[in-house]
Amino acid sequence: MKSSGYILTTYSTSIVSMRKSLKPILLDVTSFDFVPYYPNTAKNLSKIIENVYGISFDNPPSNIADRPFLLDEDVKTNFENYSEEKWKELSRDYNLFGIVVPVNWHINLPRSSKNEKFAFYII
What string of H, E and C letters represents the secondary structure of 51-112? Answer: HHCCCCCCCCCCCCCCCCCCCHHHHHHHHHHCCHHHHHHHHHHHCEEEEEEECCCCCCCCEE
Does the residue 108 lie in any domain?
yes
- Give the per-residue pLDDT at 1: 56
Does the residue 26 lie in any domain?
yes
pLDDT tens for 49-70 read 999 999 998 899 998 988 889 9
Q: What is the CA radius of gyration of the chain?
A: 14
Number of domains forming the structure of the chain: 1
Number of neighbouring beta carbons within 10 Å of residue 91: 19
Mean pLDDT, the chain, whole residue set: 91
Does the residue 70 lie in any domain?
yes
Separation between Cα atoms, residue 103 and residue 62, nearest integer Å: 27
Does the residue 1 lie in any domain?
no
Would the pLDDT of 117 be above 80? yes
Domain span including residue 105: 6-122
4 or 43: which carries more pLDDT confidence? Answer: 43
Does the residue 60 lie in any domain?
yes
For the ranges 33-37, 44-48, 74-78, the lowest mean pLDDT is seen at 33-37
Model confidence, pTM: 0.90
